[in-house]
Amino acid sequence: MTRRADGELILLWTLPVLAVLWISAFLLFPGFVHPMAPTMSAEEVAAFYRDPENLARIRYSMILFNWFGVGMIPILVLIVLQVRRMAHRTPILSYALLGCASGGPTLFLVANLFWLLAAFRPERDPQLTQLFNDLAWVTFTSQVGFLIGQCVFIALAIHLDRQPRPVFSKWVAHFNLLVAAALAPASFTALAMAGVMAWDGLVSFWIRNAAIALWIVVMGIVLGQAIYRERREPGVAA
Amino acid sequence: MSASATRTAPLPEASRSWLGRVAWHWRYDPKLELWIGWWAMIVFYQLYGLLFFLVTRIQPPPDPSFDVPRIVQWFGDRHHGLLIGFGIVFLITGMLGAVNALLAYSMRRMSVSPAFAYSYLLIYSLSAVPGMLLTCIALVVGAMRPDRDPRLISWLYDFAFMAFDGTMGVFLIGSLVWMAAILLDRNRVFPKWFGYLNLCNALTEVVVAPAWIFKRGVFAWDGAITWWIDMVVFVIYTGVFITLIRKMIVREDFGTGPLPE
C-alpha cells in the first residue's frame, strides 16, 4: 500500500527547520545577544555597522530572519485550518486570524528591511545609519498589535468551540491570553530610552521575545497534536 | 441586541445588570461571533478618532509647506501625545482583524463569488500597514529623538503623511470590490444605495492622489478637497456601514441548519 504525501504534515514539519533558522539568526546578529541600547549616539551606531566583524554577521542574520518571517505564514495558516474545524457559526474568527497572519510577518519584514539598509552602506552619514537603525528597532519592538490580535482571536475561538471534543484544550486559550499580556507593554517602547521599557530592556526585549519563542514552541506542539488527531479520526480525508 | 435565542436558552431579562446581559450573550447568543466583530468595529473607530484627533493631534493634518524648523517644533509640541497615542494604536491594531473579517463576512452572505470577500479581506488586511502603521512608526521615530538632524525629522514628517494620505490604491480598490458585490447581490444584504456610497468613498481616494504633487492649496494633503471633503465622506460612510452591518446581524437567522464550513 502506498502512502499519499500529506501536504499539511509537510508544512507542519517545516517548523523545526524554521526554529533552527531563527535560533541561529538570533545568535548570529550581534545586536541581539547584548541588545543595542537606544541611548547609543549616531557615531556609536555607525561604528557598530562599520565594524567588519559585525557587518557580515548583521547581513547574514537578517537574511535568515527574512526567510524565517515568511516561513511562519504556512504554520499560521495551519492554525487557521484548525480554527475552521471548530464548532463556530461563522468563519469570522478564522478570517480575523488570516488578517493577522499576513500583518505580523509583513511588519517583521519591514523591520528586517531597515536593518539590512543600515548595513548596506555603513559608510553613509552616521545620522542616516542611526535613522535606519531606529526605524528597524521601533518597528521590530512596537509592532505587537497583530500578534496580540492573533493570541486573542485564538483564545476566543477556543472558548467558542463548544463541542464534546474541542480542537484545542481550554488551557491553550489561557496560555494565548497570557502571551498577549506579555507582549502588550512593548507597544510603548519608544517612551523610554533606558530601563525595562526601552527596546533593549527586560520587558520590551527579553519578556517580549521569550513570549514569542514560547508561543511558537507551545503552539507548534498543540498544532501537531491536533493535526495528528484529525488524521486518526474516521472519515477524515487527509 | 439580538432578539433571537436558541430554543433551550433562557431569554435575557431586561432587569438583569449590564454584566449579566453580557454573560448571557457569551453563553447563549448564536450571533456572538458577529457581535464580537461589530463591537470591535465600534471600539476601534471610537479610539481611532480619539487617538488621531485628540491624543496625538496629527489630524486635522499640519501644513505640508512648513519649513524645517516649524516641522521640528510641530514634533516638539506633541512629543508625549505621539509616543503614548501611537503606543495605544499599536496595542489595538489586531482589532482590525475582527473588523475586516466581519466586512468580508457580509460579502459571503451575498449571492456573489467568494472572490469578493477574499479580495476585500486581503486588501484591507494589507491597508493597515501603509495607511496607518507606517505613518505611526515614522512619527514615533521622529518624536523619540528631538535632537536628530532636523532635515531627517522633516523627511520622517513627509514619510508619515504621504504614507497616510498617499497610499490610495488599497482603499480605492477595496471600496470598489465592496460596491460591485453589493450591486450584484440578490440576497439584499445591503440596500443598493449603499453600493453607490462605496463609489463616493472610492472617488475620494482618486482626488487624494494630487497630494503627491501639490504642497499648497486644495489638493495638498491638508487641502479642502484632499482632506476636508474626504474626511466628511469617510465619516458618513463609516457611520452608515456600522449601522447597516448592525441591521444585517439583527436580521441574520441561522435557524437550526448545519453549521457553515
Orientation angle between helical segments A208-232 and A170-183, nearest 10 degrees? 160
d(CA A142, CA A233): 42
Q: C-alpha grid cell for residue B229?
A: 471633503
> What's the Cα-to-Cα distance from A109 to each of A63, A115, A143, B159, rounded to whole Å?
10, 10, 11, 18
- Write the pLDDT tens digit of every residue in B13-32: 666 788 888 888 898 888 99
Domain ranges of chain B: 29-250
Query: Among B140, B148, B156, B249, which would you mutate to test the A interface (most chain A Cβ atoms within 10 Å of its Cβ)?
Result: B140
> Of A84, A98, A106, which has the smallest distance from its Cβ to B129's Cβ?
A106
Nearest one of A64, A15, A58, A69 to A33, comparing CA atoms: A58
Asked if B137 has any chain A CB less than 8 Å from its own CB, the reply is: yes
Q: Look at residue A200 in the predicted model and tell me its pLDDT.
A: 96
Q: Which residues contact A4 (CB under 8 A, 6 or more apart)?
A: A238
Q: Look at residue A203 in the predicted model and tell me its pLDDT.
A: 97
> Of B31, B84, B260, which has the smallest distance from its Cβ to A191's Cβ?
B84
- Write the pLDDT tens digit of every residue in B140-174: 999 999 999 999 999 999 999 999 988 788 889 99
pTM: 0.93
**CA A220 from centroid of its chain's CA atoms:** 13
Domain ranges of chain A: 7-29+37-231
Q: Which residues contact B252 (CB under 8 A, 6 or more apart)?
A: B31, B34, B109
Orientation angle between helical segments B150-166 and B68-77, nearest 10 degrees? 80
- Distance of residue A152 Cα from the nearest chain B Cα, in angstroms: 9
Mean pLDDT rounded to a whole number for chain B: 90
Asked if B253 has any chain A CB less than 8 Å from its own CB, the reply is: no
- Distance of residue A1 Cα from the nearest chain B Cα, in angstroms: 32
> Do B33 and A93 form a contact (C-beta atoms < 8 A)?
yes
If DSSP codes are grouped into helix, strand and coil, which group holds residue B122?
A: helix
- Distance of residue A230 Cα from the nearest chain B Cα, in angstroms: 16
Nearest one of B111, B100, B220 to B170, comparing CA atoms: B100
Region B189-209: mean pLDDT is: 94
Q: Is the pLDDT of residue B5 over 70?
A: no
**What percentage of chain A carries pLDDT values higher than 90?**
94
Region B167-190: mean pLDDT is: 93
Q: Look at residue B1 in the predicted model and tell me its pLDDT.
A: 37
Q: Which amino acid is at A192?
A: A
Q: What is the ipTM of this complex?
A: 0.94
Range with the lowest mean pLDDT among A160-169, A228-237, B163-172, B222-231? Answer: A228-237
